[in-house]
Structure 1
Amino acid sequence: MELDVFAEKHRPDWDRLEHLVRRRRKLSGPEVDELVELYQKVSTHLSVVRSSGEDPALVGWLSGLVARARAAITGAHTPAWRDFTRFFTHTFPAVVYRLRWWWIGATAGSLAFATALAVWVINDPQVMASIAAPEQIRLLVEHEFANYYVENPGASFAAQVWTNNAWVAAQAIVFGAFLGLPVIYVLALNSANLGLSAGIMIAHGKGDVFFGLILPHGLLELTAVFVAAGVGLKLGWTIIAPGHRPRLRALGEEARPAIAVALGLILVLFISGLIEGLVTGWVHTTWLRIGIGVVAEVLFLAYIFTLGRKAYLEGETGDIEERPAVLPVSG
């Protein structure tokens, strides 16, 4: 073999591989594919050159190049910031959009139940009397309801409500694995608290105070809880009616995106917690408080129905891309 001719012929491939290895942190998808292909090709070239035994210096240089290419391939990973960005621009909004009818249904049902309770309390004094003693209700209406939002420092209160709401949302999703029944209980409990408080405040002429303090943070906060509940209900229904898929496979395919929703809602509830801790009790202009809440809610819905819809139509499912295609079986 004419080693000089061989080297001259394949030198462009070697130089290209070296260039790609130097730029390994900035490679595009096609360039990564090219890197792998050239690594395999140059590995073959190294074997040929080594077998000739004619040029130890060239063997050493090619060995180093192949080793660096192997390290670039085996150590290659998508930068964390790209994963983070893709999660919030594709994965999370796409899953929430795909399950929109579940959480829209949970929203409608919960608000209908809360409204019915509020109307019942307003129109039936006996119901209010059974809730608490008159003195306790007077304290709630005149002091406790409004003071709840300012009795603690804003930052610590925001952290407190954030962790509490994140726990409620996580419960709503996890409880879906129990056929969705506990999810309905969580929704009913939260709706009952909302409806009874609204009924008591409105019956005592404090409806403006109630809505002025609930709407700023409650729009986004309740939407997040309803999204979690919708995901949990879908998870429970998947166990009941998996369709053409094996039940465990169907559960896995829905549970993985559900985890993505739980992670995304942590940020959504962090924002609502900031509003509740720093705006609800501390911004004294009612229209400004409510306006901040409305803007946050509109932005979230626009985010889901624009970015989420786009990602969903592009085929984003929220599932783990690197999951094994099949499960190992015996025999």
Structure 2
Amino acid sequence: MIMSKTILLKNRPQGTPQNSNFEFIEEEKPSPKDGEVLLRTKYVSVDPYLRGRMRDEKSYIEPFEIGAPIASAIVAEVVESNNDRFEKGDFLTGSLEWKEYQTSTAENLRKVSSDENSLSANLGILGVTGLTAYFGLDRIGEPKEGETLLVSGAAGAVGSVVGQIGKIKGLKVIGIAGSDEKVELLKSKFGFDASINYNKTEDLAAAIKEHAPDGIDIYFDNVGSYTLDAAMKNINRLGRVINCGAISLYNETEKPTGPRLETTIVKQSVKMQGFIVSNYQEHFPEGVKQLSQWLNDGKLVKEETVVEGFDSIPQAFIDLFEGKNKGKMVVKIY
């Protein structure tokens, strides 16, 4: 009998998630019914937004249930098929549960290339990560050549792609990250014009102004809180603020307060808009096509932090909140 591990949400985190919030169980490997495929997990995506689903509160997506499997974007191999659309050896991607083996009708999954070198990219630069960067910057940021783009969380999965797309579109790009190694990576590998280590900066607003004396036109925000406050002190008239995430606040146990932004928004005629990538789901093929072309042409660079082993999934997720990833964090199962 072959057993399969599953990771459940044991209890809801208070503050930063801990390994004790997760529970491993073993079940017998399932068999596919008519119309189903049996999938073996190959790569698992861990993402900051999953922290929100661990809260018991209304959001744009249902919260995880206590005692139920956690789910995220996964690349899995078809090891047995009773579905006419797929055959053994195919690789599929989509939202799946944190299980070593699982069955699925594959209704909401898409087939991807079996090329080992590109499999994990379907969770990153060619997946939701890249699409988030592409649509957020293009549709909300409305970039124009010669403008200045500021990106927070710039060495992370989304931020590193945003900055690269900004350079493709002719922008001056400034990135904010949390270590000297990361700020150097932004310039040497991703082509950012300038970068700031917020952990070594006493006055972030002044540091932004030093690199952007004429102000910033677009701010792609992955962090929120004080970083957003500093960016708004440098925003130009008709500036656009893209609210993609607020990782600095995800583990707060009390409702944070901060400067009021309304006066700046009105005086500078600033557009500030939040979004989730599924808002653009009908346009995903367009985004994947463009991202793939840029990647193949060498205009985009893939950066991943790969952790190995099914048992490593919870810790890899926790490590996101300590900034231990460069680019996209994925877990390789086999």
Task: Assess same fold via TM > 0.5.
Answer: no
Structure with higher strand content:
2
TM-score, normalization by structure 2: 0.22
If asked which structure has higher relative contact order (CA below 8 Å, sep 6+), I would say 1
Q: Bigger radius of gyration, 1 or 2?
A: 1
